[in-house]
Structure 1
Amino acid sequence: MIIDNLFWVVPIASVIALAFAYFFFRQMMKEDEGTDLMKKIAQHVRTGAMSYLKQQYRVVLIVFIVLMLLFVFLAFGLGVQNKWTPFAFLTGGFFSGLAGFFGMKTATFASARTANAAKNSLNHGLKVAFRSGAVMGLVVVGLAVLDISIWYIVLNYFIDEPDSSHKLIIITTTMLTFGMGASTQALFARVGGGIYTKAADVGADLVGKVEAGIPEDDPRNPATIADNVGDNVGDVAGMGADLYESYAGSILATAALGASAFATVSVDMQYKAILAPMLIAAVGIILSILGIYMVRTKEGATMRDLLRSLGLGVNVSSALIAVLTFVILYSLGLENWIGISFSVVAGLLAGIIIGQSTEYFTSHSYKPTQRISESAQTGPATVIISGVGLGMVSTAIPVITIAFAILIAFLSAINFDVKHMLDAQNIQLGLYGIGIAAVGMLSTLGITLATDAYGPIADNAGGNAEMSKLGPEVRKRTDALDALGNTTAATGKGFAIGSAALTALALLASYIEEVKIGLIRIGENALTLANGDTIETAKATIVDFMDYYQVNLMNPVVLVGIFIGAAMAFLFSGLTMNAVGRAAQKMVEEVRRQFREIKGIMEGEAEPDYARCVAISTKGAQIEMVVPSLLAIIIPIITGVVLGVAGVLGLLAGGLSAGFVLAIFMANSGGAWDNAKKYIEEGNFGGKGSDNHKAAVVGDTVGDPFKDTSGPSLNILIKLMSMVSIVMAGLTAAYSLL
């Protein structure tokens, strides 16, 4: 297939993103890091973060080597897998890890500079923190689009297939497999980083705030440095790897669906359908950079003013991509470009609504979180009950929003032909619409992720200001930036979960395409349907495969798969929650020991052993992250071998529905508990040190693994199970027992 000139917009956009990321990084590095004490604290955090990341990458490397050897055996030994898969798997993991590494490196250099900038003004502090967060956003989109571009060029050159239409299908389904590498790396980063940060955070809060009665980020608390390190390894490196995988996965799944949906139209239209999501992502990169330059605020800004400042950049970028999508698809000459453009708009609107819903339920500027603060007057039990209730109620709007987005995206792509919406061709086109809606939601990820990565940078800046004993005016500004960061982090998690739902649904449809390729590879060139008709495998539609494998709710294999998938969400959450609990218990014991045995800590005359707490978090995270992460890889493989294609589809549907709702519940409960504590610390309901504050700290401690470990890891779980299933589709098709 000839690559036309329009394609080169995609790699050029990736280079622009990486160039601006470097520019923002250099700008940040030119800022003054502050006093010698500020530099010393920042260096402690930097050293701890890099040390942890090296340990994590060693563990992940072992897993990757084992999985690559498995893929080599499946591809070259059994012949049930594409021979490019092992290499695509490695590049996906490498670029995902690289994105997290660059983002975290920037964050650890930015925190002290943000605190020092806050000495001048709130706007200066916001600008340094936000543009440092933008490095993460632009690195993620730049590397993802670069990886996709390179793979498309390489496969287009090396795959020798006389049928151009079939060649495009092979290229896009092969490219999908590098998503498993990205997903695997993302899950280890999220789970390991989440366990690390919350073990330190819980230990620091329970012993420091509740028992010793000292402020958050007090330098006398031995777990403080580990807590600040954890913000970087969990909320920066982990989130970067997570959204890299969502972003790449949505583009790749949509391209694969486009190749299949337009195969019966023409090769030219197939190519345009593949190129469309890449071009939307490329234009979204440019608009994200524009939005980043729009973020600024005034001195003395309220929380709503700060939220409005960030919202301006995000919303302008989103509005412009909505308009330009129509121009892109019209210029491309894509069939039904108007309807498919509205599918993109549906995804964009869903992302905005989920973000606003999350902000409402988690920001202390609004009633729901303020009510949790109020409930602290009757103790920690009512704080926990209020937070759990809020989290459950908060799931309604995102679920309804995603449901409408799915329907509108599907119907728009088929010109609202409701009467024939379940015809084979319309189903293919409708699924393409859902996939491109996910691309739309993630199209401005460059700035959306910047608002999320900003959070831990502001949090660390506040910690640095506290430990460096900067003046009350500076601390007030860093507190304002930190409180904003809590809300943007919660909003970012809601956005990540919403995008995961649409991406996973697109991957679910792509799974069938991979099964088709797998059957052809093992020589199954004809399917006998339930009515006795025989159809050529290469020409079979999704409807034909549903019939062939009996994928319906009356099939007990499908139902068993659904139950296993739903249980996986809860089992995974339980394992990661318990992991945090065990690691936090060791941290609490260590902090108590240091307070007890190192004389002069409480008087500020002796320095705590920060390194010991960092080592405890590092070791705990390395050990505890392995079992839940491997479970997410092993269960889809076993399900495929035992229950076959129908069982896998049930597994993915159950995991997607239960995991999506559970993730929203956990993220919003945790975010609300955190900001309820912050609301009291601002002087409401007794302020810092009061009994109400201590009750809110307990709620925040319960919410820590909710919002920063189990909740955000769930969106990777549902995508990783889909990716594993796609990569193992050939094995499932050839060797399943049922």
Structure 2
Amino acid sequence: MNIPIAFWLVPIASVVALGMAYSFFRSMMKAEEGTPRMIEIAGHVRRGAMAYLKQQYKVVLIVFIILAIIFSVMAYGFGVQNPWVPFAFLTGGFFSGLAGFFGMKTATYASARTANAARKSLDGGLKIAFRSGAVMGLTVVGLGLLDIAVWFIILNYFDPDGLISITTTMLTFGMGASTQALFARVGGGIYTKAADVGADIVGKVEADIPEDDPRNPATIADNVGDNVGDVAGMGADLYESYCGSILSTAALGAVAFAATGEMQLKAVIAPMLIAAVGVFLSIFGIYLVRTKEGATMRDLLHSLSLGTNVSAVLIAAATFGILYLLQIDNWLGLSFSVITGLAAGVIIGQATEYYTSHSYKPTQKISEAGLTGSATVIIKGIGTGMMSTCIPVVTIGVAIMLSYLCANGFVMDMNASALSQGLYGIGIAAVGMLSTLGITLATDAYGPIADNAGGNAEMSELGEEVRHRTDALDALGNTTAATGKGFAIGSAALTALALLASYIEEVKIAMHRSGDIIVNLAGEEIDAINATIPDFMNYFQVNLMNPRVLVGAFIGAMAAFLFCGLTMEAVGRAAQKMVEEVRRQFREIKGILEGTGTPDYGSCVEISTRAAQHEMIVPSLLAIAIPIVVGCVLGIAGVLGLLVGGLSSGFTLAVFMANAGGAWDNAKKMVEEGNFGGKGSFAHKATIVGDTVGDPFKDTSGPSLNILIKLMSMVSIVMAGLTVIFS
């Protein structure tokens, strides 16, 4: 099959993205790192982060080798797996890990330079932090498009079974990316929150010393954790979402337009082209971000919103041109499906900002609750987090319906053609939401860079004015991080829904490979590969009266809570060890609190590293095991129930946890700015407790859930051949 000329824009965009990422990295490296003390602190953080990542990759490598061997046996020994899957799985994991590595390397070099730039101006600090975050964003989209382009070219040459086989095979490299992302998110989240909670409980509450005070032995581990969790973890997470949305949509396009020949190829490359154009528009948006000295929180938020919103508007306009030039059937409706996804992303981001920024009432009320104690802070935060789920859930629901109807010409009849085209519309809406990931991920990766810059400024004793600037950048980072998490969770919901439809296609291919026959709705025996989705649902009795579907849905809902419980307890156990170590050093090392003694930062780094490596294994392997066990016991219908239950409960729970944690964090920041008594007051201690509870909510369990719901879908897709045998 001849590859269209338009497709070559995809590898070109990937090269441009990687080139710009390198350019931003070089520009950041040319900036001065600051005083010898600033350089020393940044060096401690950099070495700790790289040491942790090295250990994590060793553990992940063992898991990947074992899984690759299993896939190889399934493919070459039993013939129930596509022979390309082991290789696709490994490349997905490799590129996901590589994206996280480059992002974290950049962040650890950027923090001191951001603090040093903030000595001169707020705008200087903002530019270095944001463009360093852009290295993460552009690296993710660049490596993602490169991986997709290379696999499309290879399989187009070697796979004789057509585009449906090619796209479903490409989809399996998403499992490698998901597996790597989950280990990165869970391990990084446990690392950072063990250090953060330990530093806050002993340092700020018991010893009454400021955050990031060099006298606190856990501060270096805390700063390392910001990088391994919120940079490397988030990068790997969104790499998987980005690739998953493009590939699942391509697979759905291959099915929806299977009978139209050349149109089928255009439907497959359309999501790739939209993502490629999004790269160029993201770069344009990055250059729009700047601010003025003395800017308020609203001014800073406006600066970042300008870049992201302009990019979103331009990609919306560009989508009409892309789909029109491809001459895809109903190109106008599909364009509106893309806009639906973009609009949903913006709305979820704005709703998250409203519930987590201390510029608005929900977080201000949590700060005010600190006047009556930590219990009311926690109660108010939980209530705020629960209420904050309403807008994102309704928005995703409306986006699903609108994108479905726009794509199939507003046909509500569940006939095969309308259903396939509608599902393609949902997939392309997910692509639209993630099309400007180059800049939206930059706003998220900016957060931990600004946080580390504030820590460096505090530990280097740069003065009140510099610390005020870095505090402003840090508070902005808390909001952008919360917004980024909401965006990641929303995109995960749409991507997981598209993956759900892709699972059905993978099962049909697995059945075709094993020679199975399906009885269609007309009572005819047909090859499984020729079955429509209604035929498939009828044959496997996928309906709400089937106990297998209901049991699967309950297990999926339970899996989200079980996963959160395991990761929360993991943080608790690791934090206990950290608290005991910090107390021991305050007790046994003379002169720490007076500033004459030197804390043992290395022991705290070692505690977080060891705890993260040990605690991340069980939750991560559980996420892989559950879909396999459900598939073997409950069959195809049970797996579909599992994925629906996991998606619905996981999405809502993730929004609640991310927003509650973000609101608690910024409520504390609001008090520290001088409100309700300021630092050291009763309200301050109460909001510190709320922030400590919220830390694993927003940085460990909540963000990991969006990977969980996608990973369960990916595992189900890769293990479809095994499930078919047991069904």
> Where on the TM-score scale, by shorter chain, does this alignment land: which range?
over 0.9
The answer as to 2:201 corresponding to 1:203 is no
Mapped partners of 1:54, 1:359: distance in 2:
35
Cα deviation, residue 530, structure 1: 7.0
1:415 counterpart SS class:
coil
Kept in 1, the 8 Å contact 2:512–2:527? The answer is no
| 1:267-320 CA distance string (max 9 Å, x none) | 201100001000000000000000000000000000000000000000000000
CA-based RMSD:
0.7
Residue aligning to 2:104? 104
| 1:658-707 CA distance string (max 9 Å, x none) | 00000000000000000000000000000001111000000000000000
1:23 counterpart SS class:
helix
Cα deviation, residue 417, structure 1: 2.2
1:535 counterpart SS class:
strand
Cα deviation, residue 248, structure 1: 0.2
- State, as a whole percentage, how many aligned pairs show the same letter: 76
The answer as to 2:259 corresponding to 1:268 is no
Residue aligning to 1:438? 430
Cα deviation, residue 529, structure 1: 4.3
| 1:365-407 CA distance string (max 9 Å, x none) | 0000000000001100000000000000000000000000000
Mapped partners of 1:656, 1:664: distance in 2:
12
Residue aligning to 2:653? 662
1:402 counterpart SS class:
helix
4+ aligned runs moved over 4 Å, structure 1: none
Cα deviation, residue 533, structure 1: 3.1
Cα deviation, residue 532, structure 1: 3.8
The answer as to 2:159 corresponding to 1:168 is no
User: Residue type of the partner of 2:370?
Assistant: A
Structural mapping, 1:546-557, within 5 Å: 546-557=537-548
1:249 to 244, 255, 277: 244
User: Residue type of the partner of 1:731?
Assistant: L
Cα deviation, residue 471, structure 1: 1.4
Mapped partners of 1:367, 1:635: distance in 2:
41
Residue aligning to 1:164? none
Cα deviation, residue 326, structure 1: 0.3
Structural mapping, 1:208-357, within 5 Å: 208-264=203-259, 266-357=260-351
Cα deviation, residue 415, structure 1: 1.1
Mapped partners of 1:282, 1:473: distance in 2:
42
Residue aligning to 1:156? 156
1:491 to 483, 488, 503: 483
Kept in 1, the 8 Å contact 2:519–2:535? The answer is no
Structural mapping, 1:304-703, within 5 Å: 304-418=298-412, 420=413, 422-524=414-516, 526-529=517-520, 532-703=523-694
User: Residue type of the partner of 1:235?
Assistant: D
Cα deviation, residue 483, structure 1: 0.3
Mapped partners of 2:521, 2:272: distance in 1:
39
Mapped partners of 1:557, 1:480: distance in 2:
52
1:294 counterpart SS class:
coil
- Gapped runs of 5+ residues in structure 2? none
User: Residue type of the partner of 2:454?
Assistant: G
2:526 counterpart SS class:
strand
Mapped partners of 2:240, 2:657: distance in 1:
21
Mapped partners of 1:330, 1:261: distance in 2:
18
Residue aligning to 1:76? 76
User: Residue type of the partner of 2:400?
Assistant: I
User: Residue type of the partner of 2:252?
Assistant: L
Cα deviation, residue 535, structure 1: 2.6
1:201 counterpart SS class:
helix
User: Residue type of the partner of 1:681?
Assistant: E
Mapped partners of 2:668, 2:23: distance in 1:
37
Mapped partners of 1:70, 1:712: distance in 2:
29
1:364 counterpart SS class:
coil
Kept in 1, the 8 Å contact 2:407–2:425? The answer is yes
- Gapped runs of 5+ residues in structure 1? 162-166
TM-score (norm 2): 1.00
Mapped partners of 2:168, 2:462: distance in 1:
55
TM-score (norm 1): 0.98
Cα deviation, residue 734, structure 1: 1.6
Cα deviation, residue 606, structure 1: 1.1
The answer as to 2:172 corresponding to 1:177 is yes
Cα deviation, residue 158, structure 1: 1.1
Cα deviation, residue 537, structure 1: 1.8
User: Residue type of the partner of 1:459?
Assistant: D
Mapped partners of 1:731, 1:156: distance in 2:
26
| 1:182-238 CA distance string (max 9 Å, x none) | 000000000000000000000000000000000000000000000000000000000
Cα deviation, residue 539, structure 1: 1.4
Mapped partners of 1:37, 1:657: distance in 2:
49
1:193 counterpart SS class:
helix
